[in-house]
Amino acid sequence: MTFNFFDNDLTTLHDKLAAKEMTAVELTQATLDNVAQVDPQLEAFIMTNPEAALAQAKAVDDKQDFTQTLAGVPLALKDNLATEGIQTTGASHILEGFKPVYNATVVDKLQAAGAISVGKTNMDEFAMGGSTETSYYKTTANAWDQTKVPGGSSGGSAAAVAAGLVPFTLGSDTGGSIRQPAAFNGIVGLKPTYGRVSRWGLFAMASSLDQIGPFTRTVKDNALVLNAISGFDAKDSTSSEREVPDFTAKLTGDVKGLKIAVPKEYFGEGIDPKVASTVKAAIAQLEALGATVDEVSLPHTKYGVAAYYIIMSSEASSNVQRYDGVRYGFRADDVKNLEELYIKTRSEGFGDEVKRRIMLGTFSLSAGAYDAFFKKAAKIRTLLIEDFNKVFADYDVIVGPTAPTVAYGLGEEVDDPTAMYLADVLTIPVNLAGLPGMSVNAGFVDGLPVGLQIIGRPFDEATVYQTGYAFEQTSRLFEQKPAIAKHTLS
């Protein structure tokens, strides 16, 4: 038996498990069989962990406690989330073979809810990239066209859900790494407000920007997963003590009177005209449902990429100093002394994109450059936040495209870092301001999905979901299956 999740949302899966139509072990085994059969075409997984998954599934079956929606439901985790005793590499050579001695808090929370992780998904090395092509291990394909990139950095997590291999995955988003691959694969991906989800056990890239969030096929499923992973954690002092609401509470389909702002800068130079018109049609649909739509300005948008790449690379270069070949992972051979061990291990263990960002960050923080680069970028960050604050004084959500283009061909852009960086222009400001942002499928251009990005006020994920749900329930785009998902049984 194999199992395709396209015809089963989380609520349906839960009902089937609770009614004993299938056991958690059967569902987990079927999921693993399906991954084994389909993933060679997609390469979304770095590895599966059948033994641990089946043991957890058996425990769920023995307990027969289905009070929690996710009990017995399979998932996969981006490979930068620590899993106790199970290899976690961040898709880097330098962590090959590394087995964390503890779980990320989100992993503990999902396990406590009875959810079963079947494996670790591919990503750009240490989440640095926008196409999943900087992974040391493999290249992942887009679920809709296997000659195209899946986006990144959480490309494996997005492609796995879009192909129906698992009902949900977790990713991380520092400058768009959940929303852009969600857009490229036609699914739902949410970056929560900074602080909503504990970062404990997430391999740090840029600590003031990183957030963990869910990939799902539908908005309601996304809200259900966020319910399970949110909340204060003493191990992450930036996690918020605010109460966690039920994120499904506003999923009524009603957006009458909702005030939507559309920034004119999000439809400027560099945005593919077909992407722009697809997103404008989606916004018109929200207006037809009773929302009010006005054009606004976020004047500092064009400076976001520069400010982001300075801040991110500065934080990232500091965070990856810990990888030195001493305590875990890869260690270079044939070294004369400790200094050479550090240099040779890092030079052989990191790929080019990671080295590029280490170099940029080290430069931005170095004597003589700090004021002109790092401090200047931090001031631009303030101006970007003020832009958002002014708009959110009058509007409930901001909407626009998630990415300037649809998915491009594998190998087309990976050697052109400046082009890759500039493509992050629409997702980056949300991270700099710490806001919640989501991508939902807005339609297709030449057979490839286009993302509609919905940005909310801090800690107002519920209204982001409300907006996305109303659109998705009328467009019904989530019912369209990529060819790779069609041949499997359901």
Partner 1 sequence: MSETTISKEEVAHVAHLAKLAFDDAELEQFTTQLGDILNIFDTLGEVDTTAVEPTYSVTENVNHLRQDVAENWHQKQALLDNAPESAAGLIKVPAILDGEGE
CB 358 to partner 1: min, Å:
5
Q: How far is the CB of 229 from partner 1 (least distance, A)?
A: 18
Q: Work out how close the CB of 166 gets to partner 1 at its nearest, in angstroms, rounded to a whole number.
A: 28
Has 78 been annotated as catalytic?
yes
CB crowding 134-149: b at 16 or more within 10 Å, else e: bbbbebbbbbbbbebb
Closest by Cα among 150, 192, 187 to 168 = 187
Site for partner 1, rule CB under 8 A: 98-99, 101-102, 194-195, 208, 234, 237-241, 300, 302-303, 305-307, 309-310, 317, 324-331, 335-344, 346-347, 350, 355-356, 358-360, 362-363, 366, 372-373, 375-383, 385, 417-418, 421-422, 432-434
Residues 107 and 203 sit within 8 Å (Cβ to Cβ): no
Beta strands in 153-250 (DSSP E): 169-173, 188-191, 211-216
Q: Pick the closer one to partner 1 by CB: 275 or 384.
A: 384
- Residue among 153, 239, 317, 475 flagged as catalytic: 153
Is position 366 annotated as part of the catalytic site?
no
Tokens of 17: 């498990």
- 259 or 344: whose CB is closer to partner 1? 344
* Catalytic residue of the set 131, 177, 239, 475: 177
Residue 177 catalytic?
yes
The CB-of-479 to partner 1 minimum distance in angstroms stands at 37
Considering beta carbons, is residue 371 or 446 the nearer one to partner 1? 371
> What whole-number distance in Å separates Cα of residue 127 and Cα of residue 204?
9
Residue 173 φ then ψ, to 5°: -135, 115
User: Closer to partner 1 at the Cβ: 33 or 84?
Assistant: 84
Please tell me the distance from the alpha carbon of residue 442 to that of residue 434, in angstroms, as a whole number: 24
Of 78, 191, 250, 481, which one is the catalytic site residue? 78
Q: Which is nearer to partner 1, 138 or 355 (CB)?
A: 355
Euclidean distance between CA atoms 14 and 308, whole angstroms? 41
Q: How far apart are CA 189 and CA 173, in angstroms?
A: 10
C-beta of 102 vs 444, nearer to partner 1: 102
End-to-end CA separation in angstroms for the chain: 9
Report the SS3 class of residue 328. coil
Alpha helices, H only, 373-460: 376-392, 417-422, 428-433
β 169-173/74-78 pair status? parallel
Catalytic residues: 78, 153, 177
